[in-house]
Amino acid sequence: MKRTDKHPKDTDQSTMADAMSQWQAAGLGALNWFGASSIERMSDMGAEWMTFVAERVREDVALQHSLLHAKTPTEVQEVQMAFLQKAIDQYTAETGKMIELSSKLFEPSEDDDTKDNVNV
């Protein structure tokens, strides 16, 4: 049995470095152009969008439930109109959120001493 004096954390860091090198070789090297705060903000945008999509799916399911329980054509029309109005309102609000998030995408972070968030 071979004994090494390496600390497990050193091995983990080496493994992570190897994985990053493989990702870069696979074409993900362009991510190095972005600063950490840009990557974090992109992640925030993705999380925001996924939250929005999940909420819209819940609304779609609720619509189907309401339509199945509607008793008259007038009630069906009211349910559909309420659904459409809520969808318009939610998409409008989400568009504003995404514009705000994207406008801050490349701003330097407060703890970043560089003026440019793109490392080109």
Query: What is the 3 state secondary structure string of 10-36?
Result: HHHHHHHHHHHHHHHHHHHHHHHHECH
Domain contains 16: no
| Pairwise CA distance, residues 94 & 32, whole Å | 29
* DSSP code for 106: T
Predicted TM-score (pTM) above 0.85: no
The HSE-up count of residue 78 (CA atoms within 13 Å, CB side) is 8
Q: Which domain holds residue 103?
A: 36-107
The pLDDT value given to residue 18: 84
User: How many structural domains is the chain composed of?
Assistant: 1
C-alpha closest to that of 49 among 93, 18, 15: 93
- The CA-CA-CA angle for residues 88, 93, 98, to 5°, reads 125
Cα distances (Å, whole numbers) of residue 2 to 5, 6, 7, 41: 10, 12, 15, 45
**In this structure, is residue 7 part of a structural domain?**
no
Structural domain includes residue 15: no
Which pLDDT value is given to residue 79? Answer: 97
Per-residue pLDDT of the chain in tens (120 residues, 90 and over written 9): 555 555 555 667 788 888 877 766 666 555 556 667 777 888 889 999 999 999 999 999 999 999 999 999 999 999 999 999 999 999 999 999 999 988 887 777 665 555 545 544
